[in-house]
Amino acid sequence: MDETMVVQGAGGAGMVLIVELVLAILMIVCLWKIFTKAGQPGWAALIPFYNAYVMLQIAGKPGWWLILMFVPVVGFVVGILATVALAARFGKSVAFVVGMILLPIVFWPMLAFGSAQYDAAPAQA
């Protein structure tokens, strides 16, 4: 392996790191905006675990569900249920939830910066 290949590899890894950092910052900004739309402190988006707890509160789910998020498979299901409830609080459909899960880089900013308004008591389907 020659020196130019090592430098190119390091440059590629640096670019990946920069892209990941930009995406992480975008998602934090989106969470911050969603939290403030729901009347919660935006800074909560910066605190690990507490941001998940606040998200559960916004979604109308009990706080103890946070513990379930650490259980394999159960945590995945709880995350989906919480996302469905969160979207419902903003008047979004299950199809929007599918987008939030499969294409978060598009749908979370749509929820954060779009015209959707938070409703603490959404209509039951």
Which long-range CB contacts under 8 A does 35-43 form with residues at least 24 apart? Answer: 37/90, 37/112, 37/116, 37/117, 37/118, 38/89, 38/118, 39/118
pLDDT of residue 14: 83
Query: For the chain, which residues make up each domain, given as ranges?
Result: 3-113
pTM: 0.84
The string of pLDDT tens digits covering residues 98-118 is 999 999 999 999 999 999 999
The string of pLDDT tens digits covering residues 83-93 is 999 999 999 99
